Amino acid sequence: MVQCRICGGPVEEFFDFGRQPVSDSFVTPQTAGSEFYFRLAAGVCAECTMVQLVEEVPREQMFHEDYPYRSAGSVVMREHFEKYAHQLLGTELAGEDPFVVEIGSNDGTMLKTIGRAGVRHLGVDPSAQVAGFARAEGVRVRTDFFQDGSAREIAAADGPANVIFSANTVSHIAYIDSVFRGVDALLAPDGIFVIEDRYLGAIIAQNAFDQIYDEHFYLFSVTSVRAMAERFGFELADVEPLAVHGGSMRYTIARPGQRAVSAAVTEHVERERETGLTRPETYHRFAQHVRESCRELVRLLTELREEGRSVVAYGATAKSATVINYCGIGPDLVPFICDNTPAKQGRLAPGTHIPVRPSEDFAKPYPDYALLFAWNHAEEIMAKEREFRAAGGKWILYVPEVHIV
């Protein structure tokens, strides 16, 4: 049995997706087949309850020059980060010469608002192409992995950070002990470390199994993040549920005793206990539902093909790598995926090699059905593509179960 990366306790495996390619490796027709494969399996720690992968993908296989994901691909996400940047500017960053560091700053969607306000900031992100987009927005970026050593260098050069912010990135870092040592070296005595990520409670409740993939090494809950913060010498001071990405949580971490611990923390821990998030049976039931959903999805797509209906997919998400590779969905069932990310267009989705085409191709002509891989952006996409429905088109979703709308 593998040991928990947080506490060393035993990790009980609850789902094995088998051999899977790196989720964001959109290959060219020439490089198809060169994807890095690993065994994607998730487990839950019997001691601290942290849900985590049992096998780690070397970080350079995931985050490099060619890493294609862009935060700016969703208007909802752009507004979400802009709003939080303004909130920070009005509170934690309102003092004299504040300094903020973002771990996983990507294309600068969050920091550009901070930069425009003239506040000292630094984004840290190892993926060179997306870091370049951030620089083009006037954001200062260190193209690097955040960890113990890089954090010490930042602290020496720029001084302590009042806020260390990180959205959808800390969960990607298996070597989390090093991250916390880095935060300890860099964070001002009364500073805050804010983590925002997909919420395990929402993932289990909605059977959102595709949130399990290489980059999501951890799936956070309030219970497990509190245990993690304590393990590494910090305190979880506040939590705030967020609607983005199908259900997220914002965790505010501080040095012990520096911030009042809000009632929301204990309330969520209690709710997680009540809803069974800390019990193994929950994960066995989840595993059962995943198998059912995948069978149902393949059955539906096969039936539609036999009936001669056209189906294309929408949103070449990292999440969909789990779906297409576990279910065995290739171009025979779904001829292409529409996506607005230039770095994914003209490429092939990892593993089953479904071609990715620009969003504009969606209407040339509209298919009978559209499989929504970016279900977490359903509202935004369905609003943008309302003419598809008006023309008689139907969306296929598989979260919380396979259904047609």
Instruction: State the residues that interact with ligand SAH by CB under 6 A.
Output: 63, 67, 69, 71, 77, 103-104, 106, 124-127, 130, 145-146, 167-169, 172-173
Q: How far is the CB of 316 from ligand TYD (least distance, A)?
A: 5
Q: Report the C-alpha dihedral over residues 185, 188, 190, 192, rounded to 10 degrees.
A: -70
Choose from ligand TYD, ligand SAH, Zn ion, none: what does 173 bind? Cβ within 5-8 Å by kind: ligand SAH
Q: Sheet harboring 161-167: ordered strands across?
A: 141-142, 120-124, 99-103, 161-167, 187-198, 248-254, 235-242
Residue closer to ligand TYD by CB (options 255, 357) is 357
Distance CA(252)–CA(236), nearest Å, equals: 6
Please tell me whether residue 265 binds Zn ion under the rule CB under 5 A: no
Please tell me whether residue 359 binds ligand TYD under the rule CB under 6 A: yes
Distance CA(345)–CA(283), nearest Å, equals: 36
Residue of 73, 98, 247, 367 interacting with ligand TYD (CB under 6 A): 73
Transcribe 166-180 into DSSP letters.
EES-GGG-S-HHHHH
Q: How far is the CB of 233 from ligand TYD (least distance, A)?
A: 30
Q: How far is the CB of 263 from Zn ion (least distance, A)?
A: 25
Residue of 179, 316, 333, 370 interacting with ligand TYD (CB under 6 A): 316
Residue closer to ligand TYD by CB (options 119, 316) is 316
Residue closer to ligand SAH by CB (options 142, 347) is 142
* Number of continuous H segments (helices) and E segments (strands) in the chain: 13, 17
Give yes or no for a contact between 234 and 193, defined as CB atoms under 8 angstroms apart: yes
Stretch that binds ligand TYD, among 118-126, 183-191, 260-268, 340-348 (CB under 6 A): 340-348
Residue closer to ligand SAH by CB (options 63, 395) is 63
Nearest CA among 215, 231, 193 for reference residue 50: 231
Distance CA(120)–CA(98), nearest Å, equals: 6
Q: How far is the CB of 23 from ligand TYD (least distance, A)?
A: 7
Please tell me whether residue 380 binds ligand TYD under the rule CB under 6 A: yes
Query: Token pair 């539902």 is at which residue?
Result: 289
Q: Dihedral sign, CA of 202, 375, 38, 66? A: negative
Distance CA(201)–CA(215), nearest Å, equals: 19
Please tell me whether residue 376 binds ligand TYD under the rule CB under 6 A: yes
Residue of 384, 389, 394, 397 interacting with ligand TYD (CB under 6 A): 384
Contacts for 165 with CB less than 8 Å, ≥ 6 apart: 88, 100, 101, 102, 103, 110, 194, 196
Choose from ligand SAH, Zn ion, ligand TYD, none: what does 172 bind? Cβ within 5-8 Å by kind: ligand SAH
Residue of 27, 40, 44, 48 interacting with Zn ion (CB under 5 A): 48
Please give the residue ranges that form the binding site for Zn ion (CB under 5 A). Answer: 4, 6-7, 9, 45, 47-48, 50
Please give the residue ranges that form the binding site for ligand TYD (CB under 6 A). Answer: 69, 73-74, 315-319, 339-341, 344, 359, 374, 376-377, 380-381, 384
